Amino acid sequence: MGDRRIDEPRPSEIEQLRAQVQANVVARRNNRGGRSAAEQLVAALRRLYRRAVADGFPDAADNPALKVDKPRRLPTTRRAIGDARLAEVNEVAASWG
């Protein structure tokens, strides 16, 4: 069990944690700079505080997670297969059918 109450963390502490999570994310080939990890952290904290408010622990106005901006998602890097490549895939698939 932690040694701090749920109403003690300040928005600035959550922002520091978000920055730390974003900076220390494991870099993979599809790395987006830790934005998803930071976004999920803020979403999880908002969910936690929403449950705590519903259970009557802090007031809704004292919810520090709502005072922290969630990083915006970057546009997707996924693209469709080109027509020539798709025709090639279809040709191979038909010949092995």
Q: How many CA atoms lie within 13 A of 33 on its CB side?
A: 6
The overall longest dimension of the chain from CA atoms, in Å, is: 66
Instruction: Report pTM.
Output: 0.74
Per cent of the chain over pLDDT 90 is 66
14, 68 in Cβ contact below 8 A? Answer: yes
The residue assigned the tokens 């969630």 is 70
Q: What count of residues does the chain have?
A: 97
Quick one: which H or E segment has residue 32?
A: none
If one counts every other C-beta atom within 10 angstroms of the C-beta of residue 5, the result is 9
* pLDDT tens digits, one per residue of 50-67: 999 999 888 888 899 999
* pLDDT tens digits, one per residue of 20-30: 999 999 988 88
